[in-house]
Chain A
Protein backbone atom coordinates (compact mmCIF):
# COMPACT_ATOMS: atom_id res chain seq x y z
CA UNK A 1 0.00 0.00 0.00
CA UNK A 2 1.42 3.39 -0.99
CA UNK A 3 0.79 6.49 1.09
CA UNK A 4 3.59 8.58 -0.37
CA UNK A 5 2.84 11.53 -2.60
CA UNK A 6 4.88 13.65 -4.94
CA UNK A 7 4.19 17.32 -4.43
CA UNK A 8 5.86 19.79 -6.76
CA UNK A 9 8.73 17.35 -7.32
CA UNK A 10 9.23 16.55 -3.62
CA UNK A 11 8.34 13.13 -2.24
CA UNK A 12 6.60 12.99 1.14
CA UNK A 13 6.07 9.67 2.94
CA UNK A 14 2.39 10.44 3.44
CA UNK A 15 0.06 13.34 2.62
CA UNK A 16 -0.38 14.62 6.17
CA UNK A 17 1.22 17.82 7.42
CA UNK A 18 0.15 20.44 9.96
CA UNK A 19 -1.39 23.85 9.41
CA UNK A 20 1.07 26.65 9.99
CA UNK A 21 0.72 28.26 13.41
CA UNK A 22 -0.99 25.36 15.13
CA UNK A 23 2.14 23.30 15.75
CA UNK A 24 4.98 25.78 16.27
CA UNK A 25 8.08 24.07 14.90
CA UNK A 26 7.02 20.81 16.50
CA UNK A 27 9.10 21.18 19.68
CA UNK A 28 6.14 21.32 22.05
CA UNK A 29 4.20 18.59 20.26
CA UNK A 30 7.16 16.22 20.08
CA UNK A 31 6.31 15.15 23.66
CA UNK A 32 3.05 13.68 22.37
CA UNK A 33 3.58 12.98 18.68
CA UNK A 34 6.24 10.94 16.90
CA UNK A 35 7.23 13.57 14.36
CA UNK A 36 8.80 10.82 12.23
CA UNK A 37 5.28 9.73 11.34
CA UNK A 38 4.32 13.01 9.65
CA UNK A 39 4.60 13.60 5.93
CA UNK A 40 5.89 17.06 6.76
CA UNK A 41 5.91 19.69 9.46
CA UNK A 42 4.72 23.07 8.22
CA UNK A 43 6.24 25.61 10.56
CA UNK A 44 4.73 28.71 12.13
CA UNK A 45 5.00 31.79 9.89
CA UNK A 46 8.44 33.35 10.04
CA UNK A 47 9.37 36.92 9.09
CA UNK A 48 12.69 38.64 8.49
CA UNK A 49 12.74 39.93 12.11
CA UNK A 50 10.91 39.10 15.36
CA UNK A 51 7.22 40.08 15.44
CA UNK A 52 5.40 40.77 18.70
CA UNK A 53 1.97 39.87 17.39
CA UNK A 54 -1.32 41.26 18.67
CA UNK A 55 -2.45 42.13 22.20
CA UNK A 56 -4.42 39.54 24.21
CA UNK A 57 -7.02 38.08 24.34
CA UNK A 58 -5.96 36.37 21.13
CA UNK A 59 -8.22 33.31 21.36
CA UNK A 60 -11.99 32.84 21.45
CA UNK A 61 -13.97 29.64 21.21
CA UNK A 62 -17.03 29.55 18.95
CA UNK A 63 -19.57 26.85 18.03
CA UNK A 64 -17.51 24.07 16.50
CA UNK A 65 -14.59 26.40 15.95
CA UNK A 66 -12.29 29.01 17.34
CA UNK A 67 -11.11 32.48 16.47
CA UNK A 68 -7.49 33.45 16.74
CA UNK A 69 -5.78 36.79 16.37
CA UNK A 70 -2.24 35.88 17.33
CA UNK A 71 -0.91 38.19 14.63
CA UNK A 72 2.03 36.04 13.54
CA UNK A 73 4.23 36.45 16.62
CA UNK A 74 7.52 34.85 15.62
CA UNK A 75 11.23 35.00 16.48
CA UNK A 76 12.43 36.03 13.03
CA UNK A 77 14.34 34.05 10.43
CA UNK A 78 17.77 34.07 12.16
CA UNK A 79 16.59 32.35 15.35
CA UNK A 80 14.35 30.09 13.30
CA UNK A 81 17.21 28.88 11.10
CA UNK A 82 19.62 28.41 14.00
CA UNK A 83 17.23 26.82 16.47
CA UNK A 84 14.14 25.32 14.80
CA UNK A 85 15.58 23.85 11.61
CA UNK A 86 18.25 21.78 13.45
CA UNK A 87 15.51 20.53 15.79
CA UNK A 88 13.37 19.36 12.86
CA UNK A 89 16.35 17.86 11.07
CA UNK A 90 16.59 15.25 13.84
CA UNK A 91 13.42 13.71 12.46
CA UNK A 92 12.60 11.84 9.31
CA UNK A 93 9.92 14.25 8.13
CA UNK A 94 9.56 16.89 5.45
CA UNK A 95 9.94 20.57 6.28
CA UNK A 96 7.67 23.22 4.78
CA UNK A 97 8.51 26.73 5.96
CA UNK A 98 5.69 29.24 6.16
CA UNK A 99 6.90 32.74 5.30
CA UNK A 100 5.19 35.99 6.30
CA UNK A 101 5.92 39.65 5.71
CA UNK A 102 4.46 43.16 5.78
CA UNK A 103 5.96 44.16 2.46
CA UNK A 104 7.48 42.73 -0.71
CA UNK A 105 10.94 43.41 0.63
CA UNK A 106 10.27 41.49 3.84
CA UNK A 107 9.07 38.41 1.94
CA UNK A 108 12.13 38.54 -0.26
CA UNK A 109 14.48 38.85 2.73
CA UNK A 110 13.14 35.62 4.24
CA UNK A 111 12.95 33.71 0.98
CA UNK A 112 16.55 34.59 0.06
CA UNK A 113 17.80 33.65 3.54
CA UNK A 114 16.20 30.21 3.07
CA UNK A 115 17.92 29.55 -0.26
CA UNK A 116 20.93 28.04 1.56
CA UNK A 117 18.87 26.19 4.14
CA UNK A 118 17.94 22.54 3.67
CA UNK A 119 14.13 22.62 3.69
CA UNK A 120 11.71 21.03 1.23
CA UNK A 121 9.32 23.80 0.27
CA UNK A 122 8.15 27.29 1.16
CA UNK A 123 4.57 28.25 1.85
CA UNK A 124 3.99 31.97 1.39
CA UNK A 125 1.40 33.39 3.76
CA UNK A 126 -0.36 36.08 1.76
CA UNK A 127 -3.62 35.55 3.57
CA UNK A 128 -3.31 36.10 7.30
CA UNK A 129 -6.44 38.01 8.33
CA UNK A 130 -4.81 39.26 11.53
CA UNK A 131 -2.03 41.35 10.10
CA UNK A 132 -3.07 44.68 8.68
CA UNK A 133 -0.35 45.48 6.20
CA UNK A 134 0.98 43.01 3.67
CA UNK A 135 -0.59 39.62 4.30
CA UNK A 136 -4.23 40.00 3.53
CA UNK A 137 -3.82 42.73 0.89
CA UNK A 138 -1.63 40.45 -1.24
CA UNK A 139 -3.99 37.55 -0.72
CA UNK A 140 -7.34 39.05 -1.70
CA UNK A 141 -6.45 40.86 -4.93
CA UNK A 142 -5.56 38.53 -7.83
CA UNK A 143 -3.23 41.10 -9.45
CA UNK A 144 -1.25 41.58 -6.25
CA UNK A 145 -1.18 37.85 -5.61
CA UNK A 146 0.14 37.24 -9.11
CA UNK A 147 2.76 39.93 -8.61
CA UNK A 148 4.02 38.69 -5.24
CA UNK A 149 4.10 35.11 -6.53
CA UNK A 150 6.37 36.14 -9.43
CA UNK A 151 8.54 38.15 -7.06
CA UNK A 152 9.00 35.31 -4.56
CA UNK A 153 9.63 32.78 -7.33
CA UNK A 154 12.31 34.99 -8.84
CA UNK A 155 14.19 35.07 -5.50
CA UNK A 156 13.77 31.46 -4.39
CA UNK A 157 15.43 28.19 -5.39
CA UNK A 158 12.76 26.14 -3.58
CA UNK A 159 9.30 25.00 -4.60
CA UNK A 160 6.90 27.80 -3.65
CA UNK A 161 3.36 27.26 -2.44
CA UNK A 162 1.04 30.24 -2.17
CA UNK A 163 -1.38 30.01 0.78
CA UNK A 164 -4.76 31.35 -0.30
CA UNK A 165 -7.37 33.24 1.68
CA UNK A 166 -10.99 32.08 1.66
CA UNK A 167 -12.09 35.69 2.19
CA UNK A 168 -12.59 36.23 -1.56
CA UNK A 169 -15.51 35.99 -3.95
CA UNK A 170 -13.88 33.70 -6.50
CA UNK A 171 -11.27 31.24 -5.23
CA UNK A 172 -10.69 29.85 -8.73
CA UNK A 173 -9.52 33.27 -9.92
CA UNK A 174 -7.05 33.46 -7.01
CA UNK A 175 -5.76 29.96 -7.73
CA UNK A 176 -5.17 30.88 -11.39
CA UNK A 177 -3.43 34.12 -10.38
CA UNK A 178 -0.96 32.09 -8.29
CA UNK A 179 -0.45 29.50 -11.02
CA UNK A 180 0.11 32.19 -13.67
CA UNK A 181 2.67 33.79 -11.35
CA UNK A 182 4.66 30.57 -11.38
CA UNK A 183 3.60 29.03 -8.06
CA UNK A 184 4.54 25.35 -7.70
CA UNK A 185 1.47 24.70 -5.58
CA UNK A 186 -1.29 26.34 -3.59
CA UNK A 187 -2.58 25.69 -0.11
CA UNK A 188 -6.05 26.52 1.12
CA UNK A 189 -7.94 27.56 3.08
CA UNK A 190 -6.48 30.00 5.54
CA UNK A 191 -8.90 31.07 8.30
CA UNK A 192 -12.17 32.88 7.62
CA UNK A 193 -12.40 36.33 9.14
CA UNK A 194 -14.83 36.39 12.05
CA UNK A 195 -15.82 38.32 15.15
CA UNK A 196 -17.20 37.51 18.58
CA UNK A 197 -18.91 39.87 21.00
CA UNK A 198 -19.29 39.32 24.74
CA UNK A 199 -22.93 40.23 25.19
CA UNK A 200 -22.77 40.67 28.97
CA UNK A 201 -19.83 43.05 28.79
CA UNK A 202 -20.83 44.52 25.39
CA UNK A 203 -17.23 44.22 24.31
CA UNK A 204 -15.24 42.43 21.62
CA UNK A 205 -13.85 39.16 22.93
CA UNK A 206 -10.62 39.53 20.95
CA UNK A 207 -8.38 42.52 21.54
CA UNK A 208 -7.98 42.67 17.75
CA UNK A 209 -11.80 42.71 17.37
CA UNK A 210 -11.63 40.34 14.40
CA UNK A 211 -9.90 36.99 14.18
CA UNK A 212 -9.52 33.99 11.92
CA UNK A 213 -12.12 31.24 12.28
CA UNK A 214 -10.80 27.68 12.16
CA UNK A 215 -11.98 24.25 13.22
CA UNK A 216 -14.68 21.88 12.01
CA UNK A 217 -17.11 24.78 11.49
CA UNK A 218 -15.19 25.78 8.34
CA UNK A 219 -14.55 22.31 6.92
CA UNK A 220 -17.33 22.30 4.28
CA UNK A 221 -16.07 25.66 3.00
CA UNK A 222 -12.60 24.14 2.65
CA UNK A 223 -13.94 21.13 0.74
CA UNK A 224 -15.84 23.36 -1.67
CA UNK A 225 -12.90 25.71 -2.27
CA UNK A 226 -10.36 22.90 -2.71
CA UNK A 227 -12.71 21.33 -5.27
CA UNK A 228 -13.14 24.61 -7.17
CA UNK A 229 -9.42 25.44 -7.07
CA UNK A 230 -8.42 21.96 -8.22
CA UNK A 231 -10.61 22.37 -11.29
CA UNK A 232 -9.11 25.78 -12.06
CA UNK A 233 -5.39 24.91 -11.97
CA UNK A 234 -2.95 22.07 -12.69
CA UNK A 235 -0.54 22.75 -9.80
CA UNK A 236 -1.00 20.54 -6.72
CA UNK A 237 -3.00 21.58 -3.67
CA UNK A 238 -2.49 21.29 0.06
CA UNK A 239 -6.00 21.20 1.49
CA UNK A 240 -6.81 22.39 4.99
CA UNK A 241 -9.65 23.70 7.07
CA UNK A 242 -11.23 21.98 10.06
CA UNK A 243 -9.79 18.53 9.51
CA UNK A 244 -10.58 16.56 12.69
CA UNK A 245 -10.29 12.94 11.54
CA UNK A 246 -9.27 10.69 8.65
CA UNK A 247 -12.60 11.07 6.86
CA UNK A 248 -12.27 14.87 6.85
CA UNK A 249 -8.78 14.51 5.37
CA UNK A 250 -10.01 12.03 2.76
CA UNK A 251 -12.79 14.44 1.81
CA UNK A 252 -10.21 17.08 0.91
CA UNK A 253 -8.15 14.52 -1.03
CA UNK A 254 -11.22 13.38 -2.97
CA UNK A 255 -11.98 17.07 -3.64
CA UNK A 256 -8.54 17.42 -5.25
CA UNK A 257 -5.90 17.94 -2.55
CA UNK A 258 -2.58 16.09 -2.87
CA UNK A 259 -1.66 16.80 0.76
CA UNK A 260 -3.72 17.75 3.79
CA UNK A 261 -2.88 19.94 6.80
CA UNK A 262 -4.23 19.30 10.26
CA UNK A 263 -4.60 22.49 12.30
CA UNK A 264 -7.01 23.24 15.10
CA UNK A 265 -7.43 19.50 15.77
CA UNK A 266 -3.93 19.53 17.28
CA UNK A 267 -5.28 21.68 20.14
CA UNK A 268 -8.06 19.21 20.86
CA UNK A 269 -6.01 16.08 20.44
CA UNK A 270 -2.23 16.52 20.29
CA UNK A 271 -1.96 13.14 18.56
CA UNK A 272 -4.58 13.98 15.89
CA UNK A 273 -2.10 13.87 12.99
CA UNK A 274 -0.93 10.32 13.68
CA UNK A 275 -4.49 9.10 14.28
CA UNK A 276 -5.48 10.60 10.91
CA UNK A 277 -2.60 8.86 9.10
CA UNK A 278 -3.62 5.55 10.72
CA UNK A 279 -7.25 6.21 9.79
CA UNK A 280 -6.38 6.84 6.14
CA UNK A 281 -4.44 3.56 6.03
CA UNK A 282 -7.37 1.74 7.56
CA UNK A 283 -9.76 3.26 4.99
CA UNK A 284 -7.47 2.22 2.14
CA UNK A 285 -7.20 -1.32 3.48
CA UNK A 286 -10.94 -1.62 3.95
CA UNK A 287 -11.71 -0.26 0.48
CA UNK A 288 -8.93 -2.02 -1.40
CA UNK A 289 -7.12 1.18 -2.36
CA UNK A 290 -3.44 0.41 -3.07
CA UNK A 291 -2.24 3.93 -3.77
CA UNK A 292 -3.33 7.15 -2.08
CA UNK A 293 -2.74 8.93 -5.38
CA UNK A 294 -5.76 7.08 -6.82
CA UNK A 295 -7.96 9.05 -4.41
CA UNK A 296 -6.77 12.54 -5.35
CA UNK A 297 -9.66 14.37 -6.97
CA UNK A 298 -11.56 11.10 -7.29
CA UNK A 299 -14.96 12.42 -6.28
CA UNK A 300 -17.57 11.49 -8.85
Chain B
Protein backbone atom coordinates (compact mmCIF):
# COMPACT_ATOMS: atom_id res chain seq x y z
CA UNK B 1 0.00 0.00 0.00
CA UNK B 2 1.83 3.07 -1.17
CA UNK B 3 1.49 6.69 -0.20
CA UNK B 4 1.08 9.49 -2.70
CA UNK B 5 1.66 13.22 -2.56
CA UNK B 6 -0.83 14.78 -4.97
CA UNK B 7 -2.56 17.99 -5.94
CA UNK B 8 -6.19 17.19 -5.16
CA UNK B 9 -9.08 19.18 -6.58
CA UNK B 10 -11.72 20.15 -4.06
CA UNK B 11 -15.10 18.88 -5.27
CA UNK B 12 -17.12 20.40 -2.43
CA UNK B 13 -16.60 21.99 0.98
CA UNK B 14 -19.73 22.53 3.08
CA UNK B 15 -20.39 23.26 6.75
CA UNK B 16 -22.26 20.46 8.55
CA UNK B 17 -22.41 22.21 11.92
CA UNK B 18 -21.43 25.63 13.25
CA UNK B 19 -17.71 24.72 13.09
CA UNK B 20 -17.42 21.36 11.27
CA UNK B 21 -16.88 21.09 7.54
CA UNK B 22 -17.24 18.25 5.07
CA UNK B 23 -14.81 18.36 2.16
CA UNK B 24 -14.61 16.02 -0.82
CA UNK B 25 -11.23 15.99 -2.56
CA UNK B 26 -10.65 14.31 -5.88
CA UNK B 27 -7.47 12.25 -5.37
CA UNK B 28 -7.74 8.88 -7.11
CA UNK B 29 -4.36 7.48 -5.99
CA UNK B 30 -5.21 8.06 -2.35
CA UNK B 31 -8.85 6.95 -2.64
CA UNK B 32 -7.86 3.69 -4.31
CA UNK B 33 -5.28 2.80 -1.68
CA UNK B 34 -7.06 3.93 1.49
CA UNK B 35 -8.76 1.81 4.15
CA UNK B 36 -10.98 3.03 7.02
CA UNK B 37 -9.07 4.62 9.90
CA UNK B 38 -6.23 5.98 7.81
CA UNK B 39 -5.59 9.71 7.50
CA UNK B 40 -4.23 12.24 5.04
CA UNK B 41 -1.87 15.18 5.46
CA UNK B 42 -3.47 18.35 4.16
CA UNK B 43 -1.00 21.13 3.34
CA UNK B 44 -2.22 24.66 4.02
CA UNK B 45 -1.60 27.20 1.27
CA UNK B 46 -0.67 30.00 3.69
CA UNK B 47 3.12 29.69 4.01
CA UNK B 48 3.21 30.92 7.61
CA UNK B 49 1.36 27.76 8.67
CA UNK B 50 4.05 25.26 7.94
CA UNK B 51 2.94 21.89 9.07
CA UNK B 52 0.46 19.67 7.29
CA UNK B 53 -2.84 19.03 9.06
CA UNK B 54 -3.32 15.31 9.72
CA UNK B 55 -7.05 14.64 9.12
CA UNK B 56 -8.77 11.27 9.22
CA UNK B 57 -10.49 9.92 6.13
CA UNK B 58 -14.25 10.02 6.73
CA UNK B 59 -15.35 8.32 3.56
CA UNK B 60 -14.04 7.07 0.24
CA UNK B 61 -16.40 7.58 -2.69
CA UNK B 62 -15.08 6.48 -6.09
CA UNK B 63 -11.92 8.52 -6.68
CA UNK B 64 -12.76 11.02 -3.96
CA UNK B 65 -11.62 11.23 -0.37
CA UNK B 66 -13.96 12.88 2.11
CA UNK B 67 -12.67 14.59 5.24
CA UNK B 68 -14.75 16.10 8.04
CA UNK B 69 -12.81 18.55 10.16
CA UNK B 70 -13.47 21.10 12.87
CA UNK B 71 -12.31 24.65 12.09
CA UNK B 72 -10.65 25.49 15.39
CA UNK B 73 -7.11 26.68 14.68
CA UNK B 74 -5.65 28.96 12.03
CA UNK B 75 -4.95 26.10 9.62
CA UNK B 76 -8.35 24.41 9.74
CA UNK B 77 -10.08 27.81 9.62
CA UNK B 78 -8.24 28.51 6.39
CA UNK B 79 -9.15 25.05 5.10
CA UNK B 80 -12.80 25.91 5.77
CA UNK B 81 -12.57 28.79 3.27
CA UNK B 82 -11.34 26.65 0.36
CA UNK B 83 -13.89 26.46 -2.47
CA UNK B 84 -14.87 23.78 -4.95
CA UNK B 85 -12.46 23.80 -7.88
CA UNK B 86 -9.48 24.93 -5.79
CA UNK B 87 -6.47 22.68 -5.50
CA UNK B 88 -5.04 21.45 -2.23
CA UNK B 89 -1.88 19.41 -1.73
CA UNK B 90 -2.54 16.16 0.11
CA UNK B 91 -0.47 13.14 1.05
CA UNK B 92 -1.83 9.75 1.90
CA UNK B 93 -3.15 7.37 2.81
CA UNK B 94 -1.14 7.49 6.03
CA UNK B 95 -1.12 5.21 9.06
CA UNK B 96 -2.51 1.73 9.41
CA UNK B 97 -6.33 1.87 9.65
CA UNK B 98 -8.78 -0.41 11.48
CA UNK B 99 -8.30 -4.17 11.03
CA UNK B 100 -11.59 -5.43 9.52
CA UNK B 101 -12.80 -8.45 11.45
CA UNK B 102 -15.96 -9.57 9.61
CA UNK B 103 -19.15 -11.34 10.72
CA UNK B 104 -19.07 -10.27 14.33
CA UNK B 105 -21.08 -7.84 16.45
CA UNK B 106 -19.60 -4.38 16.75
CA UNK B 107 -19.75 -1.17 18.69
CA UNK B 108 -18.38 1.77 16.74
CA UNK B 109 -17.75 4.48 19.29
CA UNK B 110 -16.81 8.02 18.34
CA UNK B 111 -16.38 11.20 20.34
CA UNK B 112 -16.54 14.68 18.80
CA UNK B 113 -14.23 15.13 15.84
CA UNK B 114 -13.21 11.47 16.35
CA UNK B 115 -16.55 10.44 14.83
CA UNK B 116 -15.79 10.90 11.08
CA UNK B 117 -13.35 7.99 10.47
CA UNK B 118 -15.96 5.51 11.74
CA UNK B 119 -18.26 6.29 8.79
CA UNK B 120 -16.20 4.48 6.15
CA UNK B 121 -15.67 1.67 8.65
CA UNK B 122 -19.41 1.30 9.22
CA UNK B 123 -19.89 0.87 5.46
CA UNK B 124 -17.35 -1.93 5.20
CA UNK B 125 -18.24 -4.11 8.16
CA UNK B 126 -20.60 -7.05 7.76
CA UNK B 127 -22.39 -7.96 10.99
CA UNK B 128 -24.43 -6.47 13.77
CA UNK B 129 -23.41 -2.80 14.04
CA UNK B 130 -24.23 -0.52 16.96
CA UNK B 131 -22.90 3.01 16.64
CA UNK B 132 -22.41 5.15 19.73
CA UNK B 133 -21.69 8.82 19.08
CA UNK B 134 -20.72 11.30 21.77
CA UNK B 135 -21.09 15.06 21.26
CA UNK B 136 -20.58 18.13 23.37
CA UNK B 137 -23.75 19.78 22.02
CA UNK B 138 -24.23 20.00 18.25
CA UNK B 139 -24.96 16.76 16.39
CA UNK B 140 -23.33 16.00 13.02
CA UNK B 141 -23.06 12.94 10.72
CA UNK B 142 -25.50 10.92 12.88
CA UNK B 143 -28.10 10.67 10.09
CA UNK B 144 -25.47 9.30 7.71
CA UNK B 145 -24.43 6.61 10.19
CA UNK B 146 -28.09 5.51 10.52
CA UNK B 147 -27.83 3.95 7.03
CA UNK B 148 -25.23 1.45 8.24
CA UNK B 149 -26.22 0.56 11.80
CA UNK B 150 -28.26 1.46 14.84
CA UNK B 151 -27.20 4.83 16.22
CA UNK B 152 -27.11 5.77 19.91
CA UNK B 153 -26.27 9.31 20.92
CA UNK B 154 -24.81 10.86 24.05
CA UNK B 155 -24.50 14.61 24.48
CA UNK B 156 -22.87 16.54 27.29
CA UNK B 157 -25.69 19.09 27.32
CA UNK B 158 -28.32 16.33 27.28
CA UNK B 159 -30.30 17.91 24.43
CA UNK B 160 -29.94 14.82 22.25
CA UNK B 161 -29.91 11.20 23.45
CA UNK B 162 -28.40 10.28 26.78
CA UNK B 163 -26.96 13.09 28.88
CA UNK B 164 -23.30 12.32 29.45
CA UNK B 165 -20.61 10.48 27.52
CA UNK B 166 -20.42 7.40 25.32
CA UNK B 167 -19.97 5.04 28.28
CA UNK B 168 -23.18 6.46 29.79
CA UNK B 169 -24.94 5.64 26.49
CA UNK B 170 -23.52 2.10 26.42
CA UNK B 171 -24.80 1.53 29.96
CA UNK B 172 -28.16 3.21 29.37
CA UNK B 173 -28.93 1.07 26.32
CA UNK B 174 -27.21 -2.03 27.72
CA UNK B 175 -25.07 -2.46 24.60
CA UNK B 176 -22.49 -5.15 24.02
CA UNK B 177 -20.36 -6.44 21.15
CA UNK B 178 -17.55 -8.77 20.15
CA UNK B 179 -15.40 -5.84 19.01
CA UNK B 180 -15.16 -2.14 19.80
CA UNK B 181 -13.78 0.26 17.18
CA UNK B 182 -13.28 3.75 18.55
CA UNK B 183 -11.87 7.19 17.90
CA UNK B 184 -12.06 10.28 20.07
CA UNK B 185 -10.37 12.32 22.77
CA UNK B 186 -7.84 10.58 25.02
CA UNK B 187 -10.02 10.54 28.19
CA UNK B 188 -12.74 8.73 26.22
CA UNK B 189 -10.26 6.22 24.80
CA UNK B 190 -8.84 5.63 28.26
CA UNK B 191 -12.38 4.89 29.49
CA UNK B 192 -13.03 2.51 26.60
CA UNK B 193 -9.76 0.69 27.13
CA UNK B 194 -10.83 0.03 30.73
CA UNK B 195 -14.38 -0.87 29.64
CA UNK B 196 -13.17 -3.29 26.97
CA UNK B 197 -10.77 -4.94 29.35
CA UNK B 198 -13.43 -5.26 32.09
CA UNK B 199 -16.01 -6.77 29.70
CA UNK B 200 -13.50 -8.82 27.76
CA UNK B 201 -14.22 -7.04 24.47
CA UNK B 202 -11.47 -6.64 21.89
CA UNK B 203 -11.03 -2.86 21.59
CA UNK B 204 -9.37 -0.83 18.88
CA UNK B 205 -8.49 2.80 19.63
CA UNK B 206 -7.56 5.48 17.11
CA UNK B 207 -5.25 8.01 18.73
CA UNK B 208 -4.53 11.64 18.03
CA UNK B 209 -1.22 13.41 18.69
CA UNK B 210 0.51 16.53 17.44
CA UNK B 211 2.49 15.57 14.34
CA UNK B 212 5.05 17.11 12.04
CA UNK B 213 6.00 14.76 9.19
CA UNK B 214 3.11 12.26 9.36
CA UNK B 215 5.25 9.43 7.95
CA UNK B 216 7.24 8.20 10.93
CA UNK B 217 10.48 10.13 10.52
CA UNK B 218 10.37 12.97 13.02
CA UNK B 219 9.30 11.01 16.14
CA UNK B 220 7.04 13.87 17.20
CA UNK B 221 3.85 11.88 17.77
CA UNK B 222 4.79 8.89 19.88
CA UNK B 223 2.58 7.15 22.43
CA UNK B 224 3.67 4.96 25.32
CA UNK B 225 3.41 1.34 24.22
CA UNK B 226 3.45 -1.91 26.16
CA UNK B 227 5.80 -3.55 23.67
CA UNK B 228 9.12 -2.24 22.50
CA UNK B 229 8.63 -0.24 19.30
CA UNK B 230 10.19 -1.22 15.99
CA UNK B 231 11.90 2.11 15.38
CA UNK B 232 13.80 3.11 18.52
CA UNK B 233 13.51 -0.12 20.50
CA UNK B 234 12.05 1.77 23.47
CA UNK B 235 8.33 1.87 24.38
CA UNK B 236 7.27 4.65 22.05
CA UNK B 237 5.09 3.64 19.12
CA UNK B 238 4.57 6.26 16.45
CA UNK B 239 0.93 7.35 16.18
CA UNK B 240 1.36 8.36 12.53
CA UNK B 241 3.08 5.19 11.34
CA UNK B 242 2.47 2.34 13.83
CA UNK B 243 -1.05 3.76 14.44
CA UNK B 244 -3.19 5.77 14.57
CA UNK B 245 -5.21 2.61 15.29
CA UNK B 246 -3.93 0.42 18.10
CA UNK B 247 -5.38 -2.59 19.83
CA UNK B 248 -6.07 -1.19 23.32
CA UNK B 249 -3.62 -3.50 25.09
CA UNK B 250 -0.79 -2.19 22.88
CA UNK B 251 -0.82 1.29 24.39
CA UNK B 252 -0.51 2.77 27.84
CA UNK B 253 -2.74 5.85 27.80
In the bound assembly, the distance between CA atoms of A188 and B231 in angstroms comes to: 27
How many interface residues does B have (CB within 8 Å)? 34
Per-position 1/0 for A18-45, Cβ under 8 A of B: 0001111001110110000000000010
Interface presence of B48 (CB below 8 A)? yes
Among residues 209 to 223 in chain B, which have CB atoms less than 8 Å away from a CB atom of chain A?
Answer: 209-223
B2 to chain A, nearest CB (A): 7
Q: Which of B5, B51, B216, B219 makes the CB contact (< 8 A) with A70?
A: B219
B116 to chain A, nearest CB (A): 22
- Residue pair A267, B218 in contact (C-beta under 8 Å): yes
> Given contacts A29-B217, A57-B210, could you give 9 more A-B pairs where the C-beta distance is less than 8 Å?
A24-B216, A24-B218, A50-B233, A50-B234, A58-B221, A58-B222, A61-B51, A267-B213, A268-B52
Interface presence of A172 (CB below 8 A)? no
Interface presence of B236 (CB below 8 A)? yes
- Residue pair B209, A270 in contact (C-beta under 8 Å): no
Q: Which of A23, A58, A264 makes the CB contact (< 8 A) with B50?
A: A264
Partner-A contacts on B (CB < 8 A): 2-3, 5, 43, 47-52, 75, 91, 209-223, 231-236, 241
In the bound assembly, the distance between CA atoms of A27 and B72 in angstroms comes to: 33
Q: Which of A27, A61, A64 makes the CB contact (< 8 A) with B47?
A: A64
Which chain B residues border A264 with CB–CB below 8 Å?
50, 212
Interface presence of A297 (CB below 8 A)? no
Which chain A residues border B235 with CB–CB below 8 Å?
52
- Residue pair A75, B218 in contact (C-beta under 8 Å): no
- Residue pair A73, B50 in contact (C-beta under 8 Å): no
In the bound assembly, the distance between CA atoms of A124 and B233 in angstroms comes to: 22
Which chain B residues border A44 with CB–CB below 8 Å?
219
- Residue pair A74, B232 in contact (C-beta under 8 Å): yes
Q: Which of A52, A68, A216 makes the CB contact (< 8 A) with B212?
A: A68
A19 to chain B, nearest CB (A): 11
Q: Which of B47, B75, B216 makes the CB contact (< 8 A) with A28?
A: B216
Partner-B contacts on A (CB < 8 A): 21-24, 27-29, 31-32, 44, 50-53, 56-61, 63-66, 68, 70, 73-76, 79, 215-216, 264, 266-271
Q: Which of A24, A63, A68, A266 makes the CB contact (< 8 A) with B48?
A: A63
- Residue pair B50, A29 in contact (C-beta under 8 Å): no
Q: Smallest CB-CB separation from B213: which chain A residue?
A: A267
Which chain A residues border B241 with CB–CB below 8 Å?
28
In the bound assembly, the distance between CA atoms of A22 and B235 in angstroms comes to: 21
Which chain A residues border B221 with CB–CB below 8 Å?
56, 58-59
Which chain B residues border A215 with CB–CB below 8 Å?
50
In the bound assembly, the distance between CA atoms of A216 and B223 in angstroms comes to: 29
In the bound assembly, the distance between CA atoms of A22 and B220 in angstroms comes to: 10
Whether A267 contacts B51 in the complex (CB less than 8 A), given A59-B211, A73-B236, comes out as: yes
Which chain A residues border B51 with CB–CB below 8 Å?
59, 61, 66, 267-268
B219 to chain A, nearest CB (A): 5
B32 to chain A, nearest CB (A): 16
In the bound assembly, the distance between CA atoms of A50 and B219 in angstroms comes to: 14
Which chain A residues border B219 with CB–CB below 8 Å?
24, 44, 53, 58, 70, 73
- Residue pair B50, A61 in contact (C-beta under 8 Å): yes
A-B contact pairs, 10 of them (CB 8 A): A27-B217, A28-B217, A51-B232, A59-B221, A75-B233, A267-B52, A268-B51, A268-B52, A269-B43, A270-B215
Which chain A residues border B47 with CB–CB below 8 Å?
64, 216
In the bound assembly, the distance between CA atoms of A21 and B210 in angstroms comes to: 17
- Residue pair B43, A75 in contact (C-beta under 8 Å): no
B36 to chain A, nearest CB (A): 22
Which chain A residues border B223 with CB–CB below 8 Å?
56
In the bound assembly, the distance between CA atoms of A52 and B234 in angstroms comes to: 6
In the bound assembly, the distance between CA atoms of A50 and B233 in angstroms comes to: 7
Which chain B residues border A216 with CB–CB below 8 Å?
47, 50
Which chain A residues border B52 with CB–CB below 8 Å?
267-268
Q: Which of B2, B217, B233 makes the CB contact (< 8 A) with A24?
A: B217
Which chain B residues border A268 with CB–CB below 8 Å?
43, 50-52
A247 to chain B, nearest CB (A): 14
- Residue pair B212, A64 in contact (C-beta under 8 Å): no
- Residue pair B222, A76 in contact (C-beta under 8 Å): no
Whether A51 contacts B215 in the complex (CB less than 8 A), given A31-B3, A271-B5, comes out as: no
Which chain B residues border A23 with CB–CB below 8 Å?
217
- Residue pair B213, A51 in contact (C-beta under 8 Å): no
- Residue pair A66, B232 in contact (C-beta under 8 Å): no
Whether A61 contacts B209 in the complex (CB less than 8 A), given A70-B219, A73-B234, comes out as: no
